[in-house]
Amino acid sequence: MNSLGESLPIACPNQKPFQEFVWRWIKAAAGLKADVLFWDEPHFMIYPEQPEADALPKLWACRCPACEDLFKKQYNQPLPMEITSEVRAFKQDSLIRFIQALCQETAKAGLKSAVCLLPVENSSTIKDWSRVAAIPSLNIIGTDPYWRPHQRDVEAYVTRYSRRIKELADRFGKEGQIWILNFRIPKGEEGNIRTALEAGYREGIRNFAAWSYYGAAYMNLKSEDPEAVWKTLSQVYKDLQGRS
């Protein structure tokens, strides 16, 4: 729910029924003999905001009854309507606690956990990535620095996030993972896939994943020339494998 109490199409990590659903899902995945469970971009509903600016977002999430109860227990006051520094801290703690539980349950089921953090600065995303990297039962930490069409600084952008992930991975003894954009790529800009992979590789990343299969040809987010996207990705993967 958002701060006005309106229902949103996104689950709240503090909701018991959602947590229980996910614990069941983990058991089902383990029954299918999966190796790694991938926890993709854990976040609350994201509303536009500038974290360092004075202007506060008008709407924020989550303000469901579970969040209200938990906040009251932790801060001994009702969950405010405004997004205060306490609310920001509460949201961060809620996400971290949920990811910790995800990784623990996954490890208990005998599987590895990979978490992908959104490269977006917002009170609804994870701000301090080291809190995730420090989770003992986490195996792989990554991010998805997806560039925009016609973005000029793809190399610098992917380098910055690859470096951040590699540093955390090394510091906490995890494997670093970088996701490569393979959707909504304009025709003629497939070369950015090589630029991004080379940038990540230079920073020491060896675990790459691309979203999505075949340039996302089967989705409304498809690349303009999905075949060229797929061929470029395959070729760069081959070239990088030849190097290691």
- 41 vs 167 by CB, closer to Zn ion: 41
Q: Indicate which single residue of 12, 22, 102, 210 sits in contact with Zn ion (rule: CB under 5 A).
A: 12
Minimum distance from residue 120 beta carbon to Zn ion (Å): 20
- 10 vs 219 by CB, closer to Zn ion: 10
- 124 vs 192 by CB, closer to Zn ion: 124
Q: Which tokens hold the place of 177?
A: 């993972």
Q: Cα angle at 20 between 18 and 23, to 5 degrees? A: 110
Long-range contacts of 213-222 (CB under 8 A, 24+ apart): 213/182, 215/182, 215/183, 215/185, 216/182, 216/183, 216/184, 219/183, 221/183, 221/184, 222/183, 222/184
The bridge status of strand 175-181 relative to strand 207-211 is parallel
- 30 vs 101 by CB, closer to Zn ion: 101
Q: Which tokens hold the place of 59?
A: 């709407």
User: Which among 3-11, 13-21, 32-40, 119-127 is the span making contact with Zn ion, rule CB under 5 A?
Assistant: 13-21
Minimum distance from residue 71 beta carbon to Zn ion (Å): 9
Judge whether 182 and 193 are in contact, CB under 8 Å. Answer: yes
By CB under 5 A, the residues from 41 to 80 that bind Zn ion are 62, 64, 66-67
- 66 vs 236 by CB, closer to Zn ion: 66
Minimum distance from residue 43 beta carbon to Zn ion (Å): 13
Sheet holding 140-143, edge to edge: 36-40, 112-117, 140-143, 175-181, 207-211
User: Which among 9-17, 83-91, 199-207, 215-223 is the span making contact with Zn ion, rule CB under 5 A?
Assistant: 9-17
Minimum distance from residue 57 beta carbon to Zn ion (Å): 16
Give the binding-site size for Zn ion (rule: CB under 5 A).
6
Minimum distance from residue 85 beta carbon to Zn ion (Å): 18
Residues near 61 by beta carbon (within 8 Å), at least 6 away in sequence: 1, 2, 3, 8, 10, 12, 44, 45, 47, 124
106 vs 30: CA distance, rounded Å: 8
Minimum distance from residue 13 beta carbon to Zn ion (Å): 8
Whole-number CA gyration radius for the chain = 19
Give the phi and the psi of residue 61 in degrees, each rounded to 5.
-140, 150
The bridge status of strand 140-143 relative to strand 112-117 is parallel
- 7 vs 220 by CB, closer to Zn ion: 7
Based on the shown chain and the rule CB under 5 A, indicate whether residue 199 belongs to the binding site for Zn ion: no
- 12 vs 199 by CB, closer to Zn ion: 12
Minimum distance from residue 12 beta carbon to Zn ion (Å): 3
- Site residues, Zn ion (CB under 5 A): 12, 14, 62, 64, 66-67
